[in-house]
Amino acid sequence: MNTVEIPHLITTKEASEILHVTPRSVSRFAAEGKIASYKQEDGHLAFKESDIRSLARSRAALKSAANQSSKTAQDPEQRSSTSDLTVSQTISQLKREIKSAEQQVQDLQRDLMEKKRVLSYLLKLSKR
């Protein structure tokens, strides 16, 4: 028999602390479909911790990229040094970015597989 790991669920407040947003923002993200949520018997929302941590990593990466882009646009010295990159430095930088993107894809694939396992488990339970 296959065993299915039940995901660790967290509250809206816990999710808000991980994401550094208000609990209301977390509820709004769920309502907009940006994050999956589960309604508990008491009516409160719960979230898979892995989903929230994945979203937090994505938000941090976007914020970092935006900050770097903003710094480059504002700082003429940074702009010139960026344009002075050698071909080998550019290749190295692109390789690092590709590796990071590949890791994010792997994280998303793991999350997807986990969601499929949970769905399969829940479907089996609902047929009993």
Measured CA distances, 4 to 27, 69, 116, 120, 121 (Å):
27, 43, 10, 9, 7
Overall domain count for the chain: 1
Does some domain include residue 3? no
Which domain does 96 fall in, by range? 9-127
Segment 53-71 shows an average pLDDT of 78
Among 42, 43, 37, residue whose Cα is nearest residue 9: 37
Query: pLDDT per residue over 68-114, tens digit each?
Result: 766 655 655 555 555 556 777 778 888 888 888 788 878 888 888 88
Count of residues for the chain? Answer: 128
Nearest to 7 by CA among 45, 38, 41, 31: 38
Burial class from Cβ neighbours inside 10 Å (0-12, 13-18, 19+) for residue 6 reads: exposed
Residue 113 lies in a domain: yes
* 2 located within any domain: no
Mean per-residue pLDDT over the chain, rounded: 82
123 CB-contact burial (10 Å; exposed 0-12 / middle 13-18 / buried 19+)? exposed
**Taking 90 as the threshold, does the pLDDT of residue 31 lie above it?**
yes
Q: What is the CATH number of the domain that holds 116?
A: 1.10.1660.10
* C-alpha pair distances (Å), 5 with each of 8, 56, 58, 114, 122: 9, 22, 24, 8, 11
Residue 23 has pLDDT above 90, yes or no: yes
The whole-angstrom separation of Cα 91 and Cα 19 is 33
